[in-house]
A and B are shown apart, each in its own frame.
Chain A
Amino acid sequence: MPSLEACVEVHDVHKSFKRGSEVLDVLNGLNLTVNQGEFVALMGPSGSGKTTLLNLIAGLDRPTTGSIRVRGEEISSMSEGQLASWRTRSLGFVFQFYHLLPVLSAFRNVELPLLLLPLSGSQRREQVRNALDIVGLSDRMWHRPGQLSGGQQQRVGIARAIVTDPALIVADEPTGDLDAKSADEILNLLVELKNSLDKTIVMVTHDPRAAERADRLVHLEKGRLATQ
């Protein structure tokens, strides 16, 4: 069971985008709390605002109004530099299309976030090996993404997300580009991360089977929470 300490607190968040002269309101006064160690799935139709919400929680964008706190830190008021540093230390991001750097081996891809931290070469190597061990890819660490299957690439993506030991992992349709078997493996891995490492996971998905693996399902509709 997840602990009851709040990890993510989204309070009265509005987000609008300008498209020419038109203002598009994507999130309208949204409130959401995700507890430490909780696995939350965000679902909703296209245009409901779930990826926008994910980007706000990940500090990739700022709300028009409202506040977002992650483990007590008010990220919506952080500067660009503070946000970048916060992302390195406190956040792991898993992309739908993996977004590994094709010229780098699995090891180097996983090592990328560690380059931004004051760690020695041996410390970096140890952390990368641990992360690749967790996702079961120690034997493929010197393979480039092109030499790995989709499921393996996503596991490298997850290793990159956890290598700095962040409290929060956000995943944007992590199984959207995978076959059913690989998708299942990835979901098992996310659940394992939550259970054994007490990671908080916020996952956007269109797949009801993926959503079933989460502790809680949150539906968004027209920028508001429909059900929790």
Chain B
Amino acid sequence: MLLKTKREIPYSEITDERWYLRRREFLQLGAGVVGAIAGGALIACANDAVDASVGTAAGSAPQTAIPNVTKKMVTTTEPLNKFEEITGYNNYYEFGIRKGDPAKYAGQLKTSPWTVKIDGLCNKPGDYALDDIIKTAELEERVYRFRCVEAWSMVIPWIGLPLAAVIKRADPQPKASFVEFQTVLRPKEMPGLAEGGLNWPYTEGLRMDEAMNPLSLLAVGLYGKTLMNQNGAPIRLVVPWKYGFKNVKSIVRIRFVDKMPHTAWNDANPGEYGFYSNVNPNVDHPRWSQATEKRIPSYFATTKTLMFNGYGDQVASMYAGMDLRKFY
């Protein structure tokens, strides 16, 4: 005969009396947890809303006009990006990884006085004051396309001087085949450093012939004024045929070396960021297709990316015979 017995509730499923007596506290705790999550979500939402706004660059040192710039090199007829776009959307991880962080926090960086150490394999090494470097050549305006590896781009009216002039002045030795650049490293003025992420100080490099190319610019201003900190004040590199991260900001050291220098992004992820990093629509980055780009502030990535960012006439000969898939 089959006897149906009521299944006993195992003790493991019976709430311990101690916990039962404190059940209201748990309910309140539960409500608290949900409240905290909802509150956190709302705060995060509010933060995001702020982040979406164009950086206002509060606290950044006042920009001074750069007078008497008459020399010009305009490499494109495309419309310029707005000042607010160029200064409100930046990658400068020393101040945080969100695009609005540099505009918010870079104001803390003291850019005066500023010296650039030029050393390594050259005959005139030394600590050069910024003004001294700027006097090396006539300042000129250069309207360049700027292409980020993240597949967005802008058109920027830089003001600067040819890198070649500064290099010639330092008189590099024949063995100097590469130039290494270093960004300033000041943990107290750069809140993003605490977050980590890259092997700081931010280091970049160029082959000597790339550095001497007439397009290579040491920029000190844009839109007729000195650079804002989020754009790499007071002096930064602009090499328009390479992805944005090669354009090292707030330079404190230029060193002549005989070996290919380590670079910050190559150290972080050698499979994704090569030393050359020339803009190349045919070599995709594992995370971004490089065939097209989004011209800020457009919604759609409809702009076709050009080989060497459209500067092939000036730079392609430097890479003749090189497999650019291998040397990406």
Chains A and B belong together in one complex: no
